[in-house]
Amino acid sequence: MIAPSILSASFGNLEKDIQMLNDSEADWIHLDIMDGVFVPNISFGIPVVNAVNKLTDKHLDAHLMIINPENYFEAFAKAGADSISFHIEATNHVHRAVQLLKNLKVKAGIVLNPHSPVSLLENIITEVDFVLIMSVNPGFGGQAFIEESYKKIKALKQLIKSNHSKALIQVDGGVNLQNSTKLYAAGADILVAGNAVFSAPNPVQMIAQIRNTKKA
């Protein structure tokens, strides 16, 4: 699956870009929420999620790069988020946060920063719907892909299999047509692509190409 990130969209003409995604093979629409505290950038919040929800029927995937994310789960769910992921480093109560998401009837995801080991997920991997592996340092779009991410994806895939978990693997950061084959082969299920999609001459075609990449 592919989840284009609207962080790279044109916010001066957001409705046009959402319509483009509606007409594309995009499975999810990825929403990067930044608070300027957990990450060194501020993006957008609940009003934009609500606005996007009114423009599309596609699955809205809210990635919360904020501290104490559980305080905002209900608001994002009400705004239209179908899945919500939060950083394992951003809360002291990971299991409780996952249960809050389950109670809200949204898909629950946990995010690992590049420096965070897969072993942190051992006691929660059977509870989550997906894990988001950051293949760049979170906070800004357009960064170069961290090559060590392939090993991390493979390790996560093994953890999922050994625990009989149904969790999907999502990858975000520096994803493009050049590395999508290796990412799918390593075990990724959902690729988040922002700059690669919205800077392409034909974004709809690029979405289709990344989504339909054959595994190596």
Residue positions annotated with a catalytic role = 32, 172
- List, in sequence order, every beta strand (DSSP E) within the chain: 2-4, 28-34, 59-65, 83-87, 107-112, 130-134, 168-172, 190-193
Q: Spell out the residues 6+ positions from residue 199 whose beta carbon is closer than 8 angstroms to its own.
A: 8
Contact assessment for residue 102 and residue 108, using Cβ atoms and an 8 Å cutoff: yes
What does the angle CA 195 – CA 196 – CA 198 come to, to the nearest 5 degrees? 60
Listed residue (104, 31, 99, 116) closest to 66, CA to CA:
31
> 56's torsion region: left (phi>0), alpha (psi -120 to 50) or beta?
beta
Listed residue (101, 29, 41) closest to 65, CA to CA:
41
